Structure 1
Amino acid sequence: MVRFFRHALPLAAPLAAMVLAFAAASAPAAPPTHTGTDGTGAASDQQEGEPQSDAAHPDAVVRSGLPVPRFVTLRSNEVNVRTGPGVRYPVEWVFVKAGMPVEITAEFDTWRRIRDVEGTQGWVHQSTLSGRRGIIVTGQQSRTLRRDAASASEAVAQLDPGVIAKLRKCKGPWCQVDVGGFRGWLQRDEVWGVYPKEEVGE
């Protein structure tokens, strides 16, 4: 299965608020441009500097010294997610949205097991991840991006569920984000990509 994540164009909105929409769609996996050592089209992995050798065992954990779990973002618009920590493991799906937050849940050598907002897990090479932070808007309805960290603050934009934004900082129940040319504050419990009591600075 290949999973695609794409942004839709902004929708018209009343007054000064703009709705930024996000759509997710699934499509069959395209044939590989050329075949890697595992016969599954590992070309994009090798271009990103992945080693040819595989990890010895998918359940073993060799940590980088950084906290696990932790949130990171996808570095590029094409990230192969595999069933195990090595290029011989098949590609289960492909993420195609740079900046999307994922959670690292385990480490093995240069491989990271990640989980997305839907809870699906798989293995990617560390070179495909970035320490820059991002969030995804959650819930069943649009969220209000506010100018200041207060419920009574002026609305800057309306963000649909699934919108991806750059995370700048979090203080208390509020997080400041950049999205679609706007900067403002969302409530922490309206997004995925930051822990409930985590302190995030610029």
Structure 2
Amino acid sequence: MTQSRKRILALALSFFGIAGILAAAETPGFEDSDLPGQDAPATPPGPQVAAAGEPAPPPAPEAQPQRIGAVTHLPLPRFVSMKSDKANIRRGPSKTHRIDWVFLRRDMPVEVVAEYGHWRQIRDHDGVGGWVHYVLLSGNRTVLVQEDLLALHFQPSSEARVVARLESGVIADLDKCEPDWCRLEVNGYRGWAPKSALWGVRADEIRD
């Protein structure tokens, strides 16, 4: 595929702490072209016609009540994170489908909305996404900060001491969650932030 046909999705990464601005390091990952073996071609959900003798994967509806994935038996939709700092996002669940996007951010939270064999249909906070091989995803939970200079509090209270401030777009590791607050960790800073300012966690999610 030529570069002119490939759209690149990248997010700036920065962390604004008490002592100044800290950049979170990223380490090289791997592309789906490095995966062992090949999946049999499949046809993505939608109006397209499946190839002869090949079943089409089930359609992935937009936001719906949680259901169980046919492959993993895990809830759908569910949040995971990107394991690689470069991942091809394809139009359908096989390597024969064209690449629509390239995600360039390791640990970025994404939402799994459908499963088909070794492939997962994902979307990011903007609704952008497609199909990716499951080995490029991690069960480690992260969240994306959606409020600029978001205060990270020592306790789950707006009156508690502020230990750091996070710029919009920062990725944080997700720890505990109460009804309205979640405990985060970013570059060694730990604290609580309002759940409403985060993407990558359900509004009703409680984590101990």
The TM-score normalised by the length of structure 2 is: 0.77
Corresponding letter in the other structure for 2:85: N
Q: Relative to structure 1, is the Cα distance of residues 17 and 144 closer, same or farther in structure 2, using a 3 angstrom cutoff?
A: farther
Corresponding residue of 1:132: 140
Corresponding residue of 1:187: 194
Corresponding residue of 2:31: 44
CA contact (8 A) 1:50 1:125 kept: no
Secondary structure of the 2:31 match is helix
Match of 1:2 among 5, 8, 27: 8
Secondary structure of the 2:11 match is strand
Corresponding residue of 2:162: 155
Percent identity (aligned): 37
Q: Deviations over 1:62-103 (max 9, x none)?
A: 432110100000011111101111101111121111111000
Count of residue correspondences: 175
Corresponding residue of 1:54: 41
Q: Relative to structure 1, is the Cα distance of residues 50 and 102 closer, same or farther in structure 2, using a 3 angstrom cutoff?
A: farther
Corresponding letter in the other structure for 1:64: T
Q: Which runs of 5+ in 2 are unaligned?
A: 1-6, 25-29, 46-56, 59-69
Q: Distance in 2 between matches of 1:136 and 1:185?
A: 14
How much has 1:2 moved relative to structure 2?
A: 1.3
Q: Which runs of 4+ in 1 moved over 3 A?
A: 16-22
Corresponding letter in the other structure for 2:197: E
How much has 1:19 moved relative to structure 2?
A: 5.4
Secondary structure of the 1:127 match is helix
Corresponding residue of 2:73: 65
Check if 1:82 corresponds to 2:82. no
Match of 1:119 among 127, 136, 145: 127
How much has 1:188 moved relative to structure 2?
A: 0.4
Q: Deviations over 1:103-161 (max 9, x none)?
A: 0011111111101011112110111001110000113x321001111111100111111
Corresponding residue of 2:205: 198
CA contact (8 A) 1:178 1:184 kept: yes
Corresponding letter in the other structure for 2:162: A
Q: Relative to structure 1, is the Cα distance of residues 17 and 173 closer, same or farther in structure 2, using a 3 angstrom cutoff?
A: farther
Q: Relative to structure 1, is the Cα distance of residues 163 and 195 closer, same or farther in structure 2, using a 3 angstrom cutoff?
A: same
Corresponding residue of 1:178: 185
How much has 1:20 moved relative to structure 2?
A: 5.7
Q: Relative to structure 1, is the Cα distance of residues 190 and 81 closer, same or farther in structure 2, using a 3 angstrom cutoff?
A: same
How much has 1:58 moved relative to structure 2?
A: 1.4
CA RMSD of aligned residues (A): 2.1
Q: Distance in 1 between matches of 2:22 and 2:149?
A: 9
Secondary structure of the 1:7 match is coil
CA contact (8 A) 1:77 1:96 kept: yes
How much has 1:6 moved relative to structure 2?
A: 3.8
